[in-house]
Amino acid sequence: MAFDVIVIGLGGMGSAAAYHLAARGQRVLGLEKFGPAHDRGSSHGGSRIIRQSYFEDPAYVPLLLRAYELWERLARDSGRDVYRLTGGLFIGPPDSLTVAGSLRASRQWDLPHELLDEHEIRARFPNFTPDPGDIALYEDKAGFARPELTVQAHLDLAGSAGATLRFGEEVAGWSATPDGVTVRTAAGVYTAGQLVICPGAWAPQLLAQFGIPITVERQVLYWLDPIGGTAAFEDHPIFIDEDSSGIQSYGFPAIDGPRGGVKVAFFRKGVECTPETIDRTVGDREIHEMRTRAAELIPRLDGPCLHSATCMYSNTPDQHFVIARHPDSVNVTVACGFSGHGFKFVPVVGEILADLALSGATAHPISLFDPRRLVTA
The pLDDT score that the predictor gives to residue 357 is 97
Q: Could you give the C-alpha distances from 129 to 213, 223, 311, in angstroms and in order? A: 39, 20, 29
Alpha carbon distance 360, 326 (integer Å): 10
Alpha carbon distance 370, 377 (integer Å): 15
> What are the 10-residue block averages of pLDDT along the chain, 377 residues in total?
94 98 98 95 94 98 98 98 98 98 98 98 97 97 98 98 98 92 96 97 84 92 97 97 96 95 94 95 97 97 96 96 89 95 98 97 96 77
Q: What is the pTM of this model?
A: 0.96
The pLDDT score that the predictor gives to residue 210 is 77
Beta bridge partners of 48: 145
The pLDDT score that the predictor gives to residue 204 is 87
Q: Nearest Cα to 238, choosing from 118, 89, 93, 105?
A: 89
The pLDDT score that the predictor gives to residue 102 is 98
Q: Could you give the C-alpha distances from 159 to 70, 132, 196, 334, in angstroms and in order? A: 18, 53, 17, 22
The pLDDT score that the predictor gives to residue 376 is 62
The pLDDT score that the predictor gives to residue 377 is 46
Q: Is 176 exposed, middle or buried (0-12, 13-18, 19+ CB in 10 A)?
A: middle
| CATH tag, 88-140+215-315 | 3.30.9.10
Fold of 3-44+148-213+318-373: FAD/NAD(P)-binding domain (3.50.50)
The pLDDT score that the predictor gives to residue 209 is 75
Domain ranges of the chain: 3-44+148-213+318-373, 88-140+215-315
- b/e per residue, 13-30, with b = 16+ CB within 10 A? bbbbbbbbbbbbebbbbb
The pLDDT score that the predictor gives to residue 325 is 92
Q: Decide: 92 and 241 in contact? Cβ < 8 Å.
A: yes
